[in-house]
Amino acid sequence: MKNLICLLALLSFIPAQRAIAFGTVNLLGQNAEHERITRHALGCRLQGGPGANACFKDKALQDLAGRTGTWGAVGAPDNPANLRTSDPKSHCDDGDFLAVPNYPQSAQQAQVALQSCLNWMIINIDKAVDDASALVQNHRLVDKEIPTVFNCTFNYTRGRAYCNVLEDFGAALHASQDFYSHSNWVDQPNPRLPISITNPPGLAQSAPSPWLNLRNPSPVFPQGLMTGCFKGRLPDGVSECPNRVTHFVLNKDKGVIDPAIGIGSTQRSIANPGNFSRAISAAIEDTRDKWSFLQEKLIAKYGVRDGGLMICALVNGPDYKSSCR
């Protein structure tokens, strides 16, 4: 209880934190959505994920996705202690534009905001590949760069190579997962209300966006794509961005994922019940694709032998010695 009180105090002290994004903790209506999406996408115990050699074993998955009392690598951008918490590109925010008279932001400005989020994913995947170089020397894993106990902090200070790579990768995953919740890519508006800044149009897609395919990003920006404006003010629903499509209106952050994908509880999810499940399904599929892409990059840069050792270390984590040779 004492720890919970301290955390609540910290959340109220930092107004720009991201407690209302896809959650990493079970607090303020969140249901650890980032953790659950990542576990569904990459864990070894769930069907439909990566193959046996590429899925994340239990301890490594706890580092990447988080566990009780931690944010994990994928949740680090939401941690109020991190300076990146309020950075819009870390969460694909502020890419809003609606074709109505005198809208406060231009279509070009909205596209620039979303492009910065895409660039952020690319930058962090590239950083993960570069940081992985310290994992292997002379075709052998470097023991000092891989912890044998849980001691990654994911606070954006450089540590062991294993922790650095997961932190980089987690930042890319966090942004891509938030894209599906914070944007109108998969959703539909409330059919009973007219289109407006409080009921913006949706693109009604059911699969990951080709625009986020990091192997070959589409040069054509999806027409009508937007995310909500977010300034971090609480409580939900306060007009933090006057006369703009807001995060509160558009997000599909909170809802039931385990044991199965259920319903969402935000305004956009209630307005059209399929919006939450489509956001989660697309985020899971895109998370798997980002992991496949990172593996391809590691093999391409370091070769099959060394790249394979790096991948083995990442998916086994503290238990790597029994599996990676």
Task: Give the pLDDT confidence of 87-105 residue by residue, as tens digits.
Answer: 999 999 999 999 999 999 9
Closest of 217, 50, 34, 220 to residue 122, by C-alpha: 217
Confidence of residue 25 (pLDDT cuts 50, 70, 90): very low
Does some domain include residue 6? no
Closest of 233, 252, 94 to residue 186, by C-alpha: 252
Does some domain include residue 9? no
Q: Give, for 219, the enclosing helix (H) or strand (E).
A: none
- Other Cβ atoms closer than 10 A to 67: 15
Does some domain include residue 122? yes
The residue with tokens 């010695």 is: 321
pLDDT at 8: 32
Token readout for 162 is 């294993």
CB 31 within 8 A of CB 290: no
> Poorest-confidence range of 106-115, 170-179, 224-233?
224-233
Does some domain include residue 274? yes
Q: Determine the Cα–Cα distance for residues 300 and 182; give it in Å rounded to an integer.
A: 33
Closest of 38, 22, 29 to residue 78, by C-alpha: 22
Query: Residue 231 to residues 29, 182, 234, 238: CA-CA distances in angstroms?
Result: 19, 14, 9, 10
Q: Determine the Cα–Cα distance for residues 174 and 176; give it in Å rounded to an integer.
A: 6
Query: Residue 189 to residues 180, 184, 272, 318: CA-CA distances in angstroms?
Result: 15, 9, 7, 45
Query: Residue 129 to residues 38, 76, 133, 144: CA-CA distances in angstroms?
Result: 20, 19, 7, 18
Domain that includes residue 72, residue range: 52-78+88-322
Does some domain include residue 2? no
pLDDT at 49: 60
Q: Determine the Cα–Cα distance for residues 274 and 220; give it in Å rounded to an integer.
A: 27
* 174 has a pLDDT exceeding 50: yes
**Total of domains in the chain:** 1
Q: Determine the Cα–Cα distance for residues 257 and 194; give it in Å rounded to an integer.
A: 30
